[in-house]
Amino acid sequence: MKSDPKECLYCQNNETLHSLMIEIAQLRVSRVFLFKEQTYQGRCLVAYKDHVNDLFELDDNDRNAFMADVAQVTRAMDQVFQPEKINYGAYSDKLSHLHFHLVPKYVDGPDYGTVFQMNPSKVYLSDAQYQELVDAVKAKL
């Protein structure tokens, strides 16, 4: 199902988006966000800059730039949070704007060895704590 840019969370850049995520930076062809729900410490999301429904719709240059952005963000996350592994999720059943969930997993942490939960609604931080995470990731980008 292709979504309409007029109804797209990322394209509209509205309060709903900002209630879920904090924008960290804009890269070559994407925007980087920190999830406010932090059950998986350091969880981020990379969304393509334009309303594209799927990775295969991009030409080679844009696809390579997008994947380079994803790699740049996971490299920064690895340096800041030092997880055992970073899981990648590209789900878009209901919102087909191209985006990747980047979820750090820790050996003794939630859901290690299984699929991460989309929104466990368990861990929220103070504004100062969010800012620390944003600043740390941004410094490594």
Residue 3: predicted pLDDT: 75
- 66-90 pLDDT, tens digit per residue, is 999 999 999 999 999 999 999 999 9
pLDDT at residue 48 tops 90: yes
Q: What is the pTM of this model?
A: 0.95
Structural domain count of the chain: 1
Q: Percentage of the chain surpassing pLDDT 90?
A: 91
In which domain, by residue range, is 62 found?
5-140
Neighbouring C-alpha atoms within 13 Å toward the C-beta of 27: 26
Q: pLDDT band at 1, cuts 50/70/90?
A: low
Residue with tokens 């003794």: 108
DSSP-assigned letters across all residues of 88-130: EE---SS--S-EEEEEEE-TTSTTTTSPPPS--------HHHH
Residue 133: name the closest of 44, 47, 31, 46 by CA: 44
CATH of the domain at 127: 3.30.428.10
